[in-house]
Amino acid sequence: MPAVNGPATDADLDTLLADIDAARSQGLAAIAAALSTDELAQVESGLFGRKSALGPIKQALGSLAPDQRAGVGRALNEAQQELRTAHAQASDELAAVARREQLQREWLDLTETPPGPERGHLHLVTQTTERLEDVFVGMGFTVSEGPQAETDWYNFEALNLPAAHPARSMWDTLYLDLGERTELGDGEGGEASNVLLRTHTSPVQIRVMEVQPPPIYTICPGRVFRRDTADASHMPVFHQLEGLVVDRGISFADLAGTLEEFTSAYFGRSISSRLRPSYFPFTEPSAEFDITCVICEGAGCQTCQRTGWIELGGCGMVHPNVLTNCGIDFEEWTGFAFGFGIDRLALMRHGIDDLRDMYSNDIRFLSQF
């Protein structure tokens, strides 16, 4: 391109216009040759700006006479505009291609059912619950269910835990704010502040005894909620299985025998159970029930802290106040109840170290069971 100093000759102007045309053609060719957005970005600095092929022509424009400047300026603007349009169009097309390729790469066929061991199955906790139900149904129990959102009455008061009872602190409770609503869906009582996520499955006992006259032989498996921080043996949402028997002449020996029968049916004959005195407001007398450590089979190991036993849950004879709250005559009927954590039971049975693993949704962990 010629250096133009002072009024340009016709030859100078022809050279400038030819340079503009050449820069335009080269620019369009470079745009067309770019095969990806990255390549187009590299081409960009050669098309626009001071270092572009048109940059020096723009600078030369200032030294032209006004009537000469108009013609060259128009040609320059048209060339720039054409390059911008071609660049924007190529940029859109290449971005669309890149997006199509990415979608192709990341495409997952969610309808596909992989063959063989890759097939999905029930979660370990569901499997465990179903197995436990089978064992108890085989022993003559029915299966009962209740709501997960409960009233204070069912979760505490009917279970002999009045508002000021110190044992309420055993269950860190999550209360529900129902706003304007003051009733649960089924129309049963419960001020908004009295509605909570059940902290145990024991309220299902009350619901069963309210509607079913004795004899009662039932289990109540289900999800429960506590304000516990998740750690290796605690979850804020976990599962319990409650057992309830009410009949004439039921004694503590029946409770012990039922738990022993269940333990060997579920864990095998090498595992047995024992009862230790404890306290629950809704049972009297109350006990904790332990089973032989499933890891060392009673020899003593780290899991059972060398005792040979691990705690499974709580149990006892149904408190007369609880029977009375459900309209059952405690002079005529007696009963026992027990409750244990399903998640911890699955943990013990399968030798899992950490409860949180069961809820991490890691397919490598879940596919083992």
Closer residue to ligand FA5 in complex, CB, 4/345? 345
Shortest Cβ distance from residue 210 to ligand FA5 (Å)?
A: 17
Residues in the chain: 369
Sole binder of ligand FA5 in the list 83, 344, 348, 352 (CB under 6 A): 344
Q: Are 44 and 87 in contact (CB under 8 A)?
A: yes
Q: CB of 103: closest distance to ligand FA5 in angstroms?
A: 42
Min separation Cβ 35 and ligand FA5, Å: 57
Q: Binding ligand FA5 by CB under 6 A: which of 340, 346, 352, 358? A: 340
Q: What is the 3-state secondary structure (H, E, C) of the chain?
A: CCCCCCCCCHHHHHHHHHHHHHHHHHHHHHHHHCCCHHHHHHHHCCCCCCCCCCHHHHHHHCCCCHHHHHHHHHHHHHHHHHHHHHHHHHHHHHHHHHHHHHHHHHCCCCCCCCCHHHCCCCCHHHHHHHHHHHHHHHCCCEECCCCCEEEHHHHCHHHCCCCCCHHHHHCCCEECCCCCCCCCCCCCCCCHHHEEECCCCHHHHHHHHHHCCCCEEEEEEEEEECCCCCECCECCEEEEEEEEEEECCCCHHHHHHHHHHHHHHHHCCCCCEEEEEEEECCEEEEEEEEEECCCCCCCCCCCCCCCCEEEEEEEEEECHHHHHHCCCCCCCCEEEEEEEEHHHHHHHHCCCCCHHHHHCCCHHHHCCC
Cβ proximity to ligand FA5: between 53 and 235 the closer is 235
Nearer to ligand FA5, 68 or 286 (CB): 286
If binding is defined by CB under 6 A, does position 280 make contact with ligand FA5? yes
For residue 231, the minimal CB distance to ligand FA5 (Å) is 9
Asked if residue 356 binds ligand FA5 (CB under 6 A), the reply is no
Q: In whole angstroms, what is the distance from residue 312 CA to residue 276 CA?
A: 11
Q: Name which of residues 182 to 241 contact ligand FA5 (CB under 6 A).
A: 200, 202, 226, 228, 234-235, 238, 240
Binding of ligand FA5 by 283 (CB under 6 A): yes
Kindly state the smallest distance separating residue 150's Cβ from ligand FA5, in Å: 13
Size of the site for ligand FA5 (CB under 6 A): 22
Pick from 271, 341, 346, 352 the residue near ligand FA5 by CB under 6 A: 341
Binding map of ligand FA5 across residues 304-333, x = CB under 6 A, - = no contact: ---------xxxx-----------------
Give 52 or 283: the residue with its C-beta nearer to ligand FA5. Answer: 283
Minimum CB–partner distance for residue 342 and ligand FA5 (Å):
8
Q: 288 forms bridges with which residues in the sheet?
A: 276, 314
- Nearer Cβ to ligand FA5 (27/146): 146
Please identify, using beta-carbon distances, which residue of 45 and 305 lies nearer to ligand FA5: 305
Q: What is the largest CA-CA distance in the chain?
A: 125
Minimum Å distance from CB 258 to ligand FA5? 13
Instruction: Name the minimum Å distance from CB 226 to ligand FA5.
Output: 5
What are the residues binding ligand FA5 (CB under 6 A)? 200, 202, 226, 228, 234-235, 238, 240, 242, 280, 283, 313-316, 337-341, 343-344
